[in-house]
Structure 1
Amino acid sequence: MIRILLTDDHAILRDGIRALLAREPDMEVVGEATNGQAMLELLAYTPTDVVLMDVNMPVLDGFAAMPALREQFPQVRVLALSMLDHENYVHRMMEAGALGYVLKNADINEITYAIRTVAAGREFLCTEIGLNLLRRVVQRPAETTLGTLPVSKRPDTAVELSGRELEVLRLIAEGFTNQEIADQLFTSKRTIETHRQNIIEKTQAKNTAALIRYAMTQGLIE
C-alpha cells in the first residue's frame, strides 16, 4: 500500500484528488496539509511513502520545504503537483530532491502512474512538460542562429504559452485587473498572479505595455 500525504492550499483540489485516489486499491491518503510547514509537522508522526505536493503555497512553499523534508525525512519520496509548467520550476524542484513533477491538468491515470513510479524510487516527468522540453531542444539550433544577429534585426518569435496563459494574456491586454481576470476564469487571484508571472518570465516583458505589444505582434489581440 502506497501511503500518500496531500499538500496543497486548495481544499477543493485535495478533496478531488483524495476521492480519485480512493478508487486505487494500492493507495491510501494518510493525511492532508495546507502548506509546507504543516506538511513537515504532519510527517513527524504520520508514516508516509509519497508526498504529493504543490509548489506555490503560503507560509512555506514547495521550494522552501524541500531542504527540510530531505534532511528530516529522507525516506519520503516527493511528487510535485503544480500548475507551474515553466522548465525553471521543474528544474528547481528536481534539483531540490523531488523525484517527479506532474501538472494539475494531467488526467488521473497519469497522476496515479506518477505516484507509483515515484514510490518505486524512479523519476517521473509528465507528458506535457516532456513534450514542451523536447520542442525547446528541437528549436534550439534556430535560436542559436538568431543569437548571431543584431538585436534590431531579430524577428519577434513566439514563446511557448499554455492555453490558460494565453487566456490570461488576452485579458491583461484588454485592461482587466488580476481580480477581474480571476472572476472571469473562475479561479483565485493568486492563481492569476502566478500565471502572470509565468507569462512575464517566458516573454521577458518588463511591464504591462510590453505584454500588450507582444500580444499584438503575435496576433492575439487587434
Structure 2
Amino acid sequence: MSRIFLVDDHTIVRDGIRAMLAAEPTIEIVGEASNGQELLDSLPTTPTDVVLLDANMPVLDGLATTLRLRAEYPEVRILVLSMLAHERYIGQLFDAGASGYVLKSAEKAEILVAIQTVIAGRQFLCSELGLSILRKILVKEEGEEEVTKAHKLSRRETEVLQLLAGGLTTNEIAEKLFTSKRTVETHRQNILEKTQTKNTAALIHLAVTQGLLD
C-alpha cells in the first residue's frame, strides 16, 4: 500500500485527485494540505511514502517545500503535479530533490505510472513535457546548424580570423600572409559581415563560442 499525501491550495483539485485515486487498491490517501507548511506540520504524525505536490502555492510553494522535504524527510518521494510547464522551473524542482513532474492535464493512467515510478526510486517526467522539451532541443540544434552554415568562412578568411584572435595587427597579418593591408581589411570586413558582428572583439567572442577557431 502506497501512502499518498495531497498538497494543493485548491480544495476542488484535491477532491478531484482523491476521487481519481480512491478506487486504486494499492493507494491510500493519508493526508491533505493547502500549502507546504501545513504538510510539514502534519508529517511528524502522518507516515507518508509520496507527497503529491502542487508547484504554485501560498505560504510555502513547491520549490521551497521540496527543499525542506529533502532536508527533513529524505525518505519521502516528491511527485510534483502542476500546470506550470516552464522547463527551467521543472529543472529547479528536480535539482531540489523532486522525483517526478506531471502536468495536471495528464491522464489518470500516467499519474498512476508516475506514482509507481517514484516509489520505485526512479525519476519521472510526463510524456507531454518530455516531447515538448525534445522539440525545443531539436529546433535549437537546427538553428545552431543554420548559424554554423551561415558563418562558413573561406580558408583565407579562417586564417585571418585565427591571426586576429592571436592579437596580430592588420600590418602584421599582411606581412605574415604575404599580402597587402587592404586585402586583409577586405577579408576582415567579409568576416564581420558573414558573422554579423560589429567589431573585432565581438567577432572573437563569437568565433570562440561557436567553434569557428581551431
In the alignment, what sits opposite 1:100? 100
Give CA deviations for 1:172-217 in whole Å, capped at 9, x if unaligned.
xxxxxxxxxxxxxxxxxxxxxxxxxxxxxxxxxxxxxxxxxxxxxx
In the alignment, what sits opposite 2:26? 26
SS of the residue corresponding to residue 44 of structure 1 reads: helix
In the alignment, what sits opposite 1:47? 47
SS of the residue corresponding to residue 79 of structure 1 reads: strand
Question: Structure 2 counterpart of 1:28, which letter?
Answer: E
Using the TM superposition, give the Cα deviation of residue 143 of structure 1 relative to its aligned residue in structure 2, in angstroms. Answer: 2.8
Distance in 1 between residues matched to 2:10 and 2:24, nearest whole Å: 22
Using the TM superposition, give the Cα deviation of residue 68 of structure 1 relative to its aligned residue in structure 2, in angstroms. Answer: 1.3
Distance in 1 between residues matched to 2:130 and 2:83, nearest whole Å: 15
How many residues of Structure 1 are paired with residues of Structure 2 in the alignment? 151
Using the TM superposition, give the Cα deviation of residue 142 of structure 1 relative to its aligned residue in structure 2, in angstroms. Answer: 2.7
In the alignment, what sits opposite 2:137? 137
Distance in 2 between residues matched to 1:80 and 1:17, nearest whole Å: 13
In 2 relative to 1, CA 41–140 (structure 1 residues): closer, same or farther, beyond 3 Å?
same
Distance in 2 between residues matched to 1:23 and 1:32, nearest whole Å: 18
Distance in 1 between residues matched to 2:73 and 2:49, nearest whole Å: 10
Give CA deviations for 1:118-160 in whole Å, capped at 9, x if unaligned.
1111110000000011101211223324597659xxxxxxxxx
Distance in 2 between residues matched to 1:150 and 1:23, nearest whole Å: 61
Distance in 2 between residues matched to 1:32 and 1:133, nearest whole Å: 31
What are the residue-to-residue correspondences of 1:207-218 with 2, within 5 Å?
none
Distance in 1 between residues matched to 2:67 and 2:87, nearest whole Å: 20
SS of the residue corresponding to residue 29 of structure 2 reads: strand
Question: Structure 1 counterpart of 2:74, which letter?
Answer: P
Q: Where do 5+ consecutive residues of structure 1 fail to align?
A: 152-222
SS of the residue corresponding to residue 46 of structure 2 reads: coil
TM-score, normalised by the number of residues in structure 2: 0.68
SS of the residue corresponding to residue 4 of structure 1 reads: strand
Q: Where do 5+ consecutive residues of structure 2 fail to align?
A: 152-194, 198-214
Instruction: Give the percent of matched residue pairs that are identical in Structure 1 and Structure 2.
Output: 55
Larger radius of gyration: 2
In the alignment, what sits opposite 2:64? 64
Question: Structure 1 counterpart of 2:7, which letter?
Answer: T
Displacement over 6 Å in runs of 4+: none
Q: Give the root-mean-square deviation of aligned CA atoms.
A: 1.5
What are the residue-to-residue correspondences of 1:102-181 with 2, within 5 Å?
102-144=102-144, 145-146=146-147, 150=196
Give CA deviations for 1:12-65 in whole Å, capped at 9, x if unaligned.
010010011011110010000100111111111100000000000000001111
In the alignment, what sits opposite 1:84? 84
Question: Structure 2 counterpart of 1:57, which letter?
Answer: M
Distance in 2 between residues matched to 1:44 and 1:33, nearest whole Å: 14
Distance in 1 between residues matched to 2:196 and 2:121, nearest whole Å: 47
Distance in 1 between residues matched to 2:127 and 2:26, nearest whole Å: 23
